[in-house]
Amino acid sequence: MTRAHSDSQTPLRRDPRFVRFAWAKLVNLLGQNALIYGLFIILISQNKSALATGAFALTANIPSIVLGLPSGVAADRLPRKLTILATILMRIAIVWWFIAASPGAVATILATLAIWSIYQFYSPAESAALPAVASDERMGAANAWANAIALAAQVAGAGLIAPLAVKVFGGDGLFAIVMALFIISAWLFATISHLTVRTESAAPRQSILTALPQGWRAISDNAALWRIIMLTMVMDTAIFVLIVAAPTFIRDVLHTDAANAVYIAAPGAAGIVLGLLLAPVLLRLISPGRVVALGFILTVGMILTLPFLHDLSLRFEHDTPLRQLEAWLRVAPDIAAIALLLPLGGFGMTLAHIGSRTAIYHDAPEHCIAQVFATESAIGSIASVVPAIGAGLLIDQAGAPIVVLITGILAAGLALALIAGPLQHRPQPSPALNRA
């Protein structure tokens, strides 16, 4: 099997192939995040319709559900570099069309849907290319770097480049910047050799219809991998419901404007950074499954604590870290309490994501690794739809704290069912799914 050939003892930051891959990923995600958020800014500034805003939000979910499995098959069957470069070039063409055509709201939403559809083919190909630039021994560290890059690109692309470019240069200026970022990313990816990992004994060629469920079969035939992915999916769904409930929770429990959500959630970034630093260390000491379980416990524990935030903050009446933080930030006790609690959730969420991705790279069959990532994404998108709608309806009737509490209890219960269920009776991986 041909994988990354660099010395496993060399730090990734000194490995020229990985560094070039990291820069290519960062620049590409900067362009993607800046483009999507910039289009959102332009859309809401030109069209005040809530229907248009909702339709724009759905452009990310629909391609994941509809194209998740086909994109994984394509990424596994086509050379990784070809897939990556083709999807970048197609997005460049759409950005150029934005400059030339100045489309209206409907055309913008349809074009955004096309961008996300193309991205569905880019993402699994890029994820499956990572083992070509990072050895098995360094996969935990490589995933930590990948998560850090994704976080930095989201903050910088959506939080800095998009709003500043639209404000200073207008829409066309933003599109020009995005085009430049995509072109740089394409050049960097083009100069990295051997991005397709080749196995000594490739899996037999299958028809498209037969290959579509291959990612699911690879997951379901491996008890440990199935449990890890399902546990991560349950956690992500709980977080998604928490995001839906956040505006009402902030208004009714923290008694502040829901527009301050970004500032209230900011302390969670400290936990994310800590998770990025410690996850590779933990993965050298314990299995990815245990890292995911630890991250799940911390994250769901944080969710279960949120409904009792006010009662807990009242118990700390004396000189405690909570009171010191309250005085330093000059905020209400409940906001100080959540500032201490959210880093725990950020830390746990990061551990779970890095542990899950590391398990996929380690256990998924090489010939369908992109399909495993695409299947995981599709399952997560489908699983989040009903809870999000249900949470939105229930919040109006029962209140955000009750919804958050129910979410935490259901997540914990599902986790117990996953762990205590008859996983030992699930079929073991077949020889055809084993790596060479």
- What CATH class is the domain 214-423? mainly alpha
pLDDT at 427 over 60: no
Question: 3-state DSSP call for residue 382?
Answer: helix
pLDDT at 340 over 60: yes
Return the H-helix or E-strand segment holding 65: helix 50-77
How high is the pLDDT of residue 436? 34
What is the pTM (predicted TM-score) of this model?
Answer: 0.69
What is the arithmetic mean of pLDDT over 54-68? 76
What is the arithmetic mean of pLDDT over 52-79? 76
Identify the residue with better confidence: 48 or 418. Answer: 418
- Asked if residues 281 and 354 have their Cβ atoms less than 8 Å apart, the reply is no
Q: Which of 266, 294, 284 is nearest to 353 (CA)?
A: 294
What is the arithmetic mean of pLDDT over 262-268? 66
- What CATH class is the domain 12-196? mainly alpha
pLDDT tens profile 372-396: 877 787 777 777 777 877 777 787 7
Q: Please name the residues in contact with 208: beta carbons below 8 A apart, sequence gap of 6 or more.
A: 70, 73
pLDDT at 89 over 80: yes
Write out the DSSP string of 152-211: HHHHHIIIIIHHHHHHHHHHHHHHHHHHHHHHHHHHHHHTS---S-B-SSPPPP--HHHH
pLDDT tens profile 167-190: 888 889 999 999 999 999 999 999
Over the chain, what is the mean pLDDT? Answer: 78
CA distances from 131 to 172, 197, 200, 279, 391 (A): 37, 7, 15, 18, 38
pLDDT tens profile 118-162: 998 998 889 888 888 877 777 777 877 887 888 788 778 877 788
Per-domain residue ranges of the chain? 12-196, 214-423
Q: Please name the amino acid found at residue 40.
A: F
Write out the DSSP string of 397-426: HH-HHHHHHHHHHHHHHHHHHHHHSSGGGS
Identify the residue with better confidence: 432 or 299. Answer: 299
- Would you say the CATH fold of 214-423 matches that of 12-196? yes
Q: Please name the amino acid found at residue 235.
A: M
pLDDT at 260 over 60: no
Tokens of 274: 């800590």
Identify the residue with better confidence: 74 or 112. Answer: 112
d(CA 123, CA 57): 19
How high is the pLDDT of residue 201? 41
How high is the pLDDT of residue 64? 80
How high is the pLDDT of residue 6? 47
